[in-house]
Structure 1
Amino acid sequence: MEAGIDDPLSVLAPLLRVRPILDDLCRFGGDWAAPHDAAGPGWAHFHIVTRGECLLDRPGHGALRLGVGDVLLLPHGDPHVVRARAGSGGGRRAPVVEYRNAIRIKMSPGVEADTELVCGRLHFEAAPQSLIVAVLPEVVVLRATDRHHAMLEGIRDELDIDAAGAAAIATDLASALFMMMLRAHLEAAGTSSGVLRLLGQPVTSRAMMAMLREPARDWSLEELAERAISSRATLVRAFRATSGLAPLAFLTEVRLGLARQQLLGGRATIAQIAADVGYQSEAALSRAFHRHYGVRPGALRALGTG
């Protein structure tokens, strides 16, 4: 049996090549708000609530409540605001900032902290080639469970002490926590996206990886079948059985997912994005994008930066 076929998540891990960066340990109280800009291509935002509770606001969406032990991931690095559950905002003041173990400590001035967050970014080092990034939802939340409580405590404790290597240890723990989070999400989602099943079969896996490495290439079914070491008919049957899509339709899903990621997180022009993901013109991308998402690329970008 080909390596990893019996455990698709083992194949998933090296594809993600995740590198977490712990930016802030936030200790907030009273009426507070912490805005976050778009993270940039290949980057995701994350927040770990180690004490108290808060709300997350995103443009065009209702507030999402987070409680102690919750881990939130924004896989596409969307702009957002994390804030206190109550308060008008009139009494907000800029946080006091100090540094410890290469981590910023942010504190609400003149008020006792009742909420604590570990905030950072995840770098998907294979992005934008990673299909997993493209097909993940806008928000993934790992709710508090006993299984990851000790790991959360370990991250918090390491960031709270002034000892050699504390930041590196906390980062390693965060990396493991994120893989647990992805596993929980993908297992809960089952095979609805087809990603795990595509990775779990040699024929579809080889074709899928070819698409990811060169999404802008003008792939033909014959070329994909050659890369998959199969006949065209076998490849089509395998893709339809696994993802519900024909190979070239799946390629469209990949291209549009990558385009969306760049629109929300990057500065490239829409024309450049179109070329990067395999569309001959900005207009061609716009038509396909609107059919798929119900919004034009320019409108999506304006929403993400508004």
Structure 2
Amino acid sequence: MLSRRKTYAGRIKHPDDATEPATLDPLSAIAPLFRARPEIQDVCRFALQWEVVHEAEPAGFAQFHIVTNGNCLLERYSGETFKLEAGSILLLPQGDSHVVRSASRGGSTGAPIRTEYNNAIRIKTNTRGASDTELICGRLRLDGAMYSLVTAALPKAIVLSIGRGELFDRMRMLVQAIDEELQAARPGAATIATELATALFVMMLRLHFEQSASSSGILRLLASSSSARAVTAMLRAPAHPWTLDELAAEAHVSRATLVRIFRREGDIPPLGLLSQLRLGLARHRLGSTTETLAQVAAAVGYDNESAFARAFRKRYGISPGGLRARHEGRSREENSPDSIIGGVTLGLSSAARAQQADIEAS
């Protein structure tokens, strides 16, 4: 009995212990949660002047464009413009509406864009000869929890420069393999394509983290093994009535240590992040399902629909019913306001952080 007690005691992390568990890299911490359903939409081949409008995708979709030859411009309706060259990948984690067009507006006007099919592959082109610019365009569908995490950790638009070397070839091979699996429709194709798309998305994220000067608070939380365990527990079971004690147990640290790590790395208390992830997931379900408001509330951990509505309005400035009506009635050409459709962001107001800290300290 004594030896059993010693073994159990040895697993307890004292609040004053200075040593923290070894760190994990952020992608390894969250990769098991990635499930991306791919769709290669178009292979584009253009010459001279051209322009293609891409409408906003429903909640839960990330769009990407891979430039395989030439160059072009991508313009978001917010006013941002990105110049893309061969070897560039542009990722839109929230699937915002945008326009892709030729890099120069001067010169000869190209022929109208037409759609062709080659062995069931959809091709958009405006030339019957050589093309100046070629792109592969597609989208990834993320499940609700993953979408909530992605929009929390990533900006609305990411440009990756992979050049024309080995990395470019590897990514292009992945895209081609996904397309071939989906077109052939052989047994197991959906599973294989999903795993390949997951690999492609993780490679995109890894390159973004390597090229980005700084990382978001949630990525810093995922870089610490203790807080990463707590975050992944929230994402795996967002509707569970988590307490600070339970999250600390998942993280293998004390309550005080967990709060300290979250404050230091994310500037947010653990239960504050849980609330944001739940509301982000609720926003996703409101835009992508026909569930009733009560069902959405229950799915993200709210027993009381009124409490859910109050929290949602406080976070996004609109009621759940109002957002549902906006999704249903909004034209697809309209751009979604950042305050409503934007990703979950880390950080609470000073008053909210103080209120959450009082709750957790009790």
Query: Which interval holds the TM-score relative to the shorter structure?
Result: 0.7 to 0.9
Superposition map of 1:196-207 within 5 A: 196-207=219-230
2:262 partner letter: F
Partner Cα distance (1:272, 1:304) in 2 = 26
Is 2:251–2:258's contact at 8 Å kept on the other side of the alignment?
yes
Task: Give the corresponding residue for 1:42.
Answer: 60
Deviates more, 1:28-37 or 1:266-275: 266-275
Partner Cα distance (1:139, 1:83) in 2 = 17
Partner Cα distance (1:158, 1:227) in 2 = 38
Once the two structures are TM-superposed, the CA of residue 171 in structure 1 deviates from its matched residue by 9.0
Q: 1:186 to 1:297 in 2, by over 3 A?
A: farther
Deviations along 1:144-163, whole A, 9 cap, x unmatched? 434523335646888999xx
Deviations along 1:87-119, whole A, 9 cap, x unmatched? 49x97624131133x421222156752110001
Once the two structures are TM-superposed, the CA of residue 41 in structure 1 deviates from its matched residue by 3.9
Partner Cα distance (2:293, 2:98) in 1 = 26
Rg larger in structure:
2
2:244 partner letter: L
Once the two structures are TM-superposed, the CA of residue 236 in structure 1 deviates from its matched residue by 0.9
Does 2:157 correspond to 1:136?
Answer: no
**Which residue, 99, 103, 106 being the options, matches 1:81?**
99
**Which residue, 197, 206, 224 being the options, matches 2:247?**
224
**Which residue, 63, 77, 87 being the options, matches 2:81?**
63
Partner Cα distance (2:314, 2:80) in 1 = 28
TM-score (norm 2): 0.65
Is 1:154–1:173's contact at 8 Å kept on the other side of the alignment?
no
Does 2:167 correspond to 1:148?
Answer: yes
Which secondary structure does the structure 2 equivalent of 1:211 belong to? helix
Partner Cα distance (2:248, 2:167) in 1 = 42
Partner Cα distance (1:51, 1:95) in 2 = 19
Q: Which ranges in structure 1 are unaligned for 5 or more consecutive residues?
A: none
Q: Which ranges in structure 2 are unaligned for 5 or more consecutive residues?
A: 1-20, 335-362
**Which residue, 36, 43, 66 being the options, matches 1:25?**
43
Deviations along 1:62-111, whole A, 9 cap, x unmatched? 332212210011112222222223449x97624131133x4212221567
Percentage identity across paired residues of the two chains? 43
Once the two structures are TM-superposed, the CA of residue 120 in structure 1 deviates from its matched residue by 0.9
Deviates more, 1:34-43 or 1:146-155: 146-155
Partner Cα distance (2:67, 2:80) in 1 = 19
Partner Cα distance (2:103, 2:213) in 1 = 33
Deviates more, 1:212-221 or 1:178-187: 212-221
Task: Give the corresponding residue for 2:118.
Answer: 99
1:56 partner letter: L
Is 1:45–1:75's contact at 8 Å kept on the other side of the alignment?
yes
Is 2:40–2:179's contact at 8 Å kept on the other side of the alignment?
no
Q: 1:34 to 1:155 in 2, by over 3 A?
A: farther
Is 1:69–1:152's contact at 8 Å kept on the other side of the alignment?
no
Deviations along 1:226-248, whole A, 9 cap, x unmatched? 44344322221222233222112
Partner Cα distance (1:182, 1:39) in 2 = 20
Root-mean-square deviation over aligned CA pairs: 4.3
Which secondary structure does the structure 1 equivalent of 2:205 belong to? helix
Which secondary structure does the structure 2 equivalent of 1:77 belong to? coil
Deviations along 1:236-275, whole A, 9 cap, x unmatched? 1222233222112222332344455557x63658946962
